[in-house]
Structure 1
């Protein structure tokens, strides 16, 4: 009680004048963290431009007052940005899941209780909910699967269970702020073989390059590099790691950079 009262007094004593703090698109808006799957999690310096450009003037999702998103990603991950700011920047609703760990039964209950229209799930969680809690998707209009290779079997199964649900396979490391490429699956086509990760979002770019940073022909595997408005400034207090992963972009304007993902990919056409 004392702490609350002291806080109120401090706030009451603050000036009501606007803060004179210059702010630009390129200033840091937040620090997102990698999952730590390849070692210790790294803090990623993401700008206002990274966040806003990923969530506005895009066609990969429906944003607006009629949408209800479920936040089921840890708040330190970039996936949280779509679930939270994707709703609030457009007058929608976001439902906050208690705790910091995805709980399938809780996700299912919250999705049905709040009539959630958008779900963003890791591929393994998508698969589990499709198998064990298919009612999760009763009111969902679009569901994203990502973070790991998508399961064609489960995508086809969910299309059969809920034909009106749009299923989108997305790809994008935290270094490029959420989804960088997306692919909406076609329920009329059998889901066989690896699912495409699609094409880049507006103002984001993807390159498949060889060891000499030359583009590989369609069908030829190379390393996936990313660029565009989603690219972070780098890693918090890790200049050497930043310089290794964020390199000059030979295909963009002077000063632009490529992010080296370490992932292998190829263009199918």
Structure 2
């Protein structure tokens, strides 16, 4: 653990404390490796859901999950080289805000979590040359109405977490012609995002909103109550498979087995997550959220 710079912080238990303002030297006078053995399938963090459907669940996301998200080919555009990081670490968008830029040689522009009003966000974007950011749909809607010029400074915006307002999206596409806008979908159990619908600088019209295409190494299925694929136009439950899937729920094996089921459409031993969301395939081969 690390202490606060001002000191005076007490930790329970026998834990090593590393002073953040102290120099750490090895016997050889150079930085020494920590000597830690790490598996990609070890837990990177536990993220608790809101508990809106019962007791909050601790979602165990692994190092592999984080790496798979951060190394998705979409980020290779370079537009995410300076990402605004303002979400609390208890909110899974912080995984995108920190690791997508940092694992690709970029920079995370850290804004104090207490300062999330539109003025502070707009000022930070301008002052630090932020190139990309994620906004919940509610915040995106507010900025589209009151701070759209700040959005226009960004090269790319990701938004999701709830149903996106088509009106807010059209406003941003019209007023910010040089900004790519990405409508994303993904529960915490799929490590922030599992699919996206992109509106690039060449696509400024909104014909229809849908959940977009899956991210790399990700699969999405719409199944009936007997795990059979739902025909186009028929509502079913949405399942997500692939490398973004969390390990399960901390200390809740029964719930993990219920929600993270065997994937009959994938390789032997693979799993899929039943999101509980209802969806259907439309006539264009796109997944519509119901």
Is TM > 0.5 for Structure 1 vs Structure 2?
Answer: yes
1:158 matched to which residue of 2?
Answer: 172
What does the per-residue CA deviation read over 1:170-195, in whole Å, with 9 as the maximum and x for residues that have no partner? 000110101100011366564255x1
Q: Which of 42, 57, 61 is the equivalent residue of 1:42?
A: 57
1:22 matched to which residue of 2?
Answer: 37
1:171 matched to which residue of 2?
Answer: 185
Relative distance call for 1:11 and 1:94 in structure 2 (3 A) is closer
1:119 matched to which residue of 2?
Answer: 133
Q: Normalised by the size of structure 1, how large is the TM-score?
A: 0.89
- Cα distance in structure 2, aligned partners of 1:126 and 1:2: 39
Relative distance call for 1:214 and 1:142 in structure 2 (3 A) is same
Relative distance call for 1:10 and 1:161 in structure 2 (3 A) is closer
1:208 matched to which residue of 2?
Answer: 222
Relative distance call for 1:66 and 1:30 in structure 2 (3 A) is closer
Equivalent residues, number: 266
Higher relative contact order (Cα pairs below 8 Å, separated by 6+ residues):
1
What does the per-residue CA deviation read over 1:167-226, in whole Å, with 9 as the maximum and x for residues that have no partner? 110000110101100011366564255x11101101011111111111112222111001
Contact 1:205 1:228 in 2 (8 A): yes
Unaligned runs of 5+ in 2: 1-5, 10-16, 286-290
Equivalence map 1:84-233=2 (5 Å): 84-99=98-113, 102-185=116-199, 188=203, 190-191=205-206, 193=208, 195-233=209-247
Shifted more, 224-233 versus 102-111: the winner is: 102-111
Contact 1:70 1:111 in 2 (8 A): yes
1:255 matched to which residue of 2?
Answer: 269
Q: Normalised by the size of structure 2, how large is the TM-score?
A: 0.83
Relative distance call for 1:209 and 1:101 in structure 2 (3 A) is farther
What CA RMSD, in Å, does the superposition of the two structures yield over aligned residues? 2.6
Shift of 1:237: 1.4
Shift of 1:83: 0.7
Question: What secondary structure is seen at the aligned counterpart in 2 of 1:266?
Answer: strand
Unaligned runs of 5+ in 1: none
What does the per-residue CA deviation read over 1:44-98, in whole Å, with 9 as the maximum and x for residues that have no partner? 1111111101111422x34659721001222122211111111111111111121
Shift of 1:19: 3.9
Q: Does 1:80 align with 2:61?
A: no
2:13 matched to which residue of 1?
Answer: none
